[in-house]
Every structure is written in C-alpha cells, then in structure tokens.
Amino acid sequence: MKKFVYSIGLCLATLFAQAQVKPFQQNDRVIFVGNSITEAGAYVSYIYLYYMTHFPGKKLVILNGGIGGDKASDIYRRLDYDILAKKPTVLVLTFGMNDTGYYEFNNSDAAKTAAERIAASRRSYGQIEQRLLKLPAIQKIMMSSPPYDETAKIPGNYFPGKQQAMLEIIKFQEEAAQKNNWPFTDLFRPMKALNEQLQQKDSTFTMIGPDRIHPGNAGHLVMASLFLKSQGLNGKPVAEVSINAGAGKLQQAVNCSISQLTASNNKVSFGYLAASLPFPIDTVARVWGNTQKQSDALNWIPFTEDFNREMLQVAGLSSGDYTLLIDGHAMGKWSAAAFAEGINLATLTETPQYKQAFSIMQLNLRRAELESRLRRYYWIQGNFFDKKNLLLHDDAAALDSVRTYAKTDGMLRYHEENYETAMYKELRTAWLQEIDTIVKLIYTINKPVIHKIEIVKI
C-alpha cells in the first residue's frame, strides 16, 4: 500500500506542474467562489484548518462563497452583493461543472450543445474578469473544477463527453490566468488521473461520489491538498526532532524548540515546544448522500507525508522496547529500531497536541455549519429572488413567494425553512458574530504549549 500511495504521490507531483499560488498571509480575507461543491464547504474548511493548526500565529479569515447550481453567469450576477460585499483581499474563482450541462450529453446534438455552453461560459467569465480587473487590490486565483467522474463503472448520471467539455473550460481559464498574471490551481487533471489509476484496481471506485459530481469528505481532502500544494506548503513539517541518545546530543530541531535535554542509552527526556499543531483527521462522513470519510483519502494520497509529519527520531538507544510518555502519560511502546527510524507523533490521536488540534477541528466544524446557513440564504437570493425581481427584499411578499413556489420546487422547499429565519438581518448578524467568536476562540487555543517528552526503556 505504501508503495502504491507513493507512486500516486509522484503522479500528482508530476501532473501538478502549475504556477505556485502565494500562501495566505496574516489578516488576509480569502473567499472561495464556486458552485455546490464549494458551498458544501469541506475543502474550504480543511484548508482553513490547515492554516489554523500549522500557522497558529497567522490569523486570517477564509470564507465560503459557493452557491449550488452556479455557472459563471450566476457568479457574475452575485459578484457585488454576495462576494465583493465581504471585502476579500484574496478571491479564488472556480466554475465549470454546471456550465457544461448534464443530460444534454445524451442527446444526438451533444457536441453542438456543449460548444454553445462552453462559449456562453467564456462570455460570462469575460464579464467577471472585467469586473475583477477593476479591483487591483484583490489577489485573484483561478482554480479548475474537480472532475466529473465519467469512468467509474457505476449506474446513473452517465454523461459521455462531459469531461472533455469541462477540459475546454479549464483551457480558457488557464489562458485567462496567464494573460492576467493570475495564479492557477488545477484540481481537474490530477484528480482525474488519480481516479483512473485507482479504478484500475476497482472499476467501481470513485473519488467523487455516487452522483459522479459531488466529492465526499475524502475527495474534499484531495482538493484541499492539491490547493495547499499549489501554495508550496507540502513538505513543511509540523515539527522534526532528531536526537542522538548515545552522545546525549540534539542533532536537529525543525519548527520547534527543545529544552532541558538529558539522554542516555536507556532513557531520554526533554521539553518540547512545537511551532505548529498536527492536522486532526476526521473519521465521520459529513456530506449528505456520500459515505466517504476524510480519513479514506489517506489511502489515496500521501497527505500525511506531505502535510502532517511530527517526527521524533532517536538514535543510539540500546536494543529493546521503550515507552513514550508525554506529560507523564504513556502514548505507546516502540522498539529502539523504530525510534531510530522515527515516530510520527501526528498520527497518535492520544497526544495532548493532537487533542488540542481535535478541539480546533470541532470548533471549525461549528464555524462551517453556521456559515452554511448564510450560504443557503444566498442560494435563495441567487437562484430564486434574483429571477423574481425580489433580490434582497426579505419582506413578507418575498416570504410568501417562497412558500408558494416551494410547493412545487423541491430545491426551494429544502431552503425554505432556513430562509424563514435567515431573512432577518439581525439573525444573520448574530450568526456572523458567533462565527467571529469561534474564530477568535480558535486563535486563542491553537497556540502550541511546551510538553515533557520521555522515552523510557521497559
């Protein structure tokens, strides 16, 4: 399995030869603008969690700007009242899944329809581009859509030719990014290649999901990892400690500080203060209709190797087994040979630093849940009110209109209950204040603290 995952990592590294995206900076306000895949929010939340844990002193805001069903034309219509109103300093723009259509690919004139849709998407993007060019203070990042899974041997939603149509949109996105000197992140090609590689072993496998369109939590972690790679953040450890116990010397300390080191062939003790926290891995499926768990992605991509290495390496111990204690609590036992090779503390869920990071993950999930209420509010604005000349009215007539049309519109009915509370600006303000409180709390409790590490011979 390790060899297989490593080969996937090499494949991704080769395919991911794109211009590097600048890492986010202190006080950035980043917004990811897209369709339902973005509105689902998992990959956006994972990117935020990485920054919260890996850069605990670099406070920034990452916002979800996705709306289900959006094409480039829809994004252009809501650009001012939804996206730019949030005053971003960095804007990540992705579209293409809905632009290319779906059932049209099963018709006899599919090629003609696809060409028309691609042309329409290009025209709408041109409008977005002209608007963004007038805002030089905002850093723009183009990002491709993740792929539509055309190759999985599963029933339903099979639209032959959709992948190629999406690729045509990606080509003009790349051209536009190059023309404007904007960075570009490609999710489509690396995910498509990895998907097809894994399908060689299991033809029914899909990194995306049963509908071929919406990734589950694991697919979202792949998306997040590709974006973080485009920022050049892969390979940056949580921390690395290397000690020669026989010589009683610290050989290396990366992204951490070591104090009060005492070491012999049979015992090592020191104070350990990392500059980062490990990335906690979720084991719960949280995307409706998709059983993927975030942890499943660890079997597909070298996420741990790239982003979650908290390595403790101790050479010179006498042969035998040793107990690892952190703050007096046993974490497990390993042989002297295992310590010489290195123990990745980030994979140990009982360490105090992992538990600290897990609390941050839980708070971040709560933040994302609150944000999803706001996204559902903007869904109803963009997909319903904007077409009824009721945009942002939020009055009794607007509510009556929702209730009337929701009787025959399933998607509107899904959003109806949320709108009945979200229509009140005071409640939306309260949600925003709660999000702000959670983020402030996260940046209060995400600071690493010093721990006492002991390695004692059994």
Q: Which of 11-15, 195-199, 219-223 has the lowest mean pLDDT?
A: 11-15
Q: Is the pLDDT at 188 greater than 50, yes or no?
A: yes
The 10s digit of each residue's pLDDT in 250-302 is 999 999 999 999 999 999 999 999 999 999 999 999 998 899 999 999 999 99
Q: Is residue 286 part of a domain?
A: no
DSSP 209-269: -TTSSS--HHHHHHHHHHHHHHTT-TT--SEEEEEETTTTEEEEEESEEEEEEEE-SSEEE
Q: What is the DSSP letter of 377?
A: H
- Residue 455: predicted pLDDT: 98
For the chain, percent of residues with pLDDT exceeding 90: 95
Q: Is residue 290 part of a domain?
A: no
Q: Taking the mean position of all CA atoms in its chain, how far away is CA 286?
A: 14
Nearest to 149 by CA among 199, 107, 101, 111: 199
Q: Mark whether 391 and 444 lie in a shared domain.
A: yes
- Residue 383: predicted pLDDT: 95
- Residue 289: predicted pLDDT: 87
The 10s digit of each residue's pLDDT in 310-359 is 999 999 999 999 999 999 999 999 999 999 999 999 999 999 999 999 99
Q: Mark whether 174 and 322 lie in a shared domain.
A: no
Q: Is the pLDDT at 124 greater than 70, yes or no?
A: yes
Q: Is the pLDDT at 2 greater than 90, yes or no?
A: no
- Residue 234: predicted pLDDT: 97
Residue range(s) defining the domain that contains residue 181: 2-230
Q: Mark whether 168 and 104 lie in a shared domain.
A: yes
Provide the mean pLDDT of the chain.
95
- The total number of structural domains in the chain stands at 2
Q: Mark whether 172 and 213 lie in a shared domain.
A: yes
Q: Is the pLDDT at 14 greater than 70, yes or no?
A: no
**More confidently predicted of 448 and 18:** 448
β-strand partners of 313: 242
The 10s digit of each residue's pLDDT in 19-56 is 579 999 999 999 999 999 999 999 999 999 999 999 99
- Residue 212: predicted pLDDT: 98
Q: Mark whether 254 and 143 lie in a shared domain.
A: no
Q: Is the pLDDT at 16 greater than 50, yes or no?
A: no
Please, is 113 exposed, middle or buried when counting C-beta atoms within 10 Å of its C-beta (0-12, 13-18, 19+)? Answer: middle
Q: Is the pLDDT at 9 greater than 50, yes or no?
A: no
- Residue 19: predicted pLDDT: 59
Q: Mark whether 31 and 102 lie in a shared domain.
A: yes
The model carries a pTM of 0.95
8 A C-beta contact, residue 340 and residue 394:
no
Largest CA distance in the chain: 79
- CATH number of the domain residue 182 falls in: 3.40.50.1110
Q: What is the DSSP letter of 278?
A: -
Q: Is the pLDDT at 1 greater than 50, yes or no?
A: no
The 10s digit of each residue's pLDDT in 372-418 is 999 999 999 999 999 999 999 999 999 999 999 999 999 999 999 99
Q: Is residue 293 part of a domain?
A: no
